[in-house]
Amino acid sequence: METQNENNSRNPAVTPEQIEAMLTRLEDIRRRIAAACEKAGRSTDSVKLMAVTKTVDPVLINAAIDAGIRLLGENRVQEFLSKRESYSPAAEVQFIGRLQTNKIRQIIDKVTLIHAVDSLHLAQAIDREAQKKNLICPVLIEVNIGGELTKGGITPENAAELIKAINELPHLRAEGLMTIPPPVADPIQQEAVFAKMYELRERLREECGCSLDTLSMGMSGDYEAAILHGSTIVRIGSALFGARNYPPKAL
């Protein structure tokens, strides 16, 4: 149950103006995705637009689904569980946040992909829960491409070993890579990071003997650059729903 306090601290009501503004931003994002795809010589449907929903009111999320959004990204277990009943069922949900092993059970049969697997410990825990529910759980390996000590993700050097170990787990399937690159001001540097991810994926494909088709990279500030370097899922929050009312420190 939510307390009165929590209710008030969240968006109390979504106005028609907010919905209008979101729809305008969505059109703009779609145009930019199409333009980036064209520039990269890719078909527009090779990139999925994920709407990242943290802190966003379900009314606004459903308006996005009504406008054609078919993929939602959640990164907080409790928030997801408290909001999911309100979501229109037309969209699938993927989990993009840090996942604590004791919370896997609560979400494993409610999401279609887990994006941020960065250790064998976590992979084994997901495999055990997937076995209990008798399902095979698709996952992405989170790579710390920027080498930032404070961030999650496995180092590029250790990725192959983790993927091979995951491929041995009967209830897990490694579908690709995910990254949250460090913020850089210089667009050339930014592209270099995504290019590095693409090359890493190509190398891991050979080394691990699996296709790793999904590349989850690109957020509000850098999705066009990510598309130029092979991203297949762009995870967009603030550029679609507007600025969040707290700093996004819990990435």
Q: How far is the CB of 244 from ligand PLP (least distance, A)?
A: 7
Note whether 214 binds ligand PLP by CB under 6 A.
no
Note whether 36 binds ligand PLP by CB under 6 A.
no
Note whether 148 binds ligand PLP by CB under 6 A.
no
Going from the C-alpha of 178 to that of each of 12, 41, 90, 106, 166, the distances in angstroms are 33, 22, 24, 22, 15
Note whether 248 binds ligand PLP by CB under 6 A.
yes
CA distance 7 to 229: 41
One of 36, 52, 174, 233 touching ligand PLP (CB under 6 A): 52
Note whether 239 binds ligand PLP by CB under 6 A.
yes
Q: Whose structure tokens read 């009501």?
A: 13
Give ∠ CA 189-139-83 in degrees, rounded to 5.
Answer: 95
Q: Which is nearer to ligand PLP, 174 or 219 (CB)?
A: 219
Nearest in space to 183 (alpha carbons), one of 218, 215, 213, 157 = 218
Q: Which is nearer to ligand PLP, 123 or 178 (CB)?
A: 178
Note whether 28 binds ligand PLP by CB under 6 A.
no
Note whether 49 binds ligand PLP by CB under 6 A.
no
Note whether 219 binds ligand PLP by CB under 6 A.
yes
CA distance 208 to 85: 39
One of 11, 62, 75, 179 touching ligand PLP (CB under 6 A): 75
Note whether 181 binds ligand PLP by CB under 6 A.
no
What is the residue-wise DSSP string for 128-152? HHHHHTT--EEEEEEB-TT--TTS-
Site size for ligand PLP (CB under 6 A): 15
Do residues 33 and 227 touch, judged by C-beta distance below 8 A?
yes
Written as one letter, the residue type at 138 is P
Give residues in contact with ligand PLP (CB under 6 A): 52, 54, 75, 96-97, 180, 219-220, 235-239, 248, 251
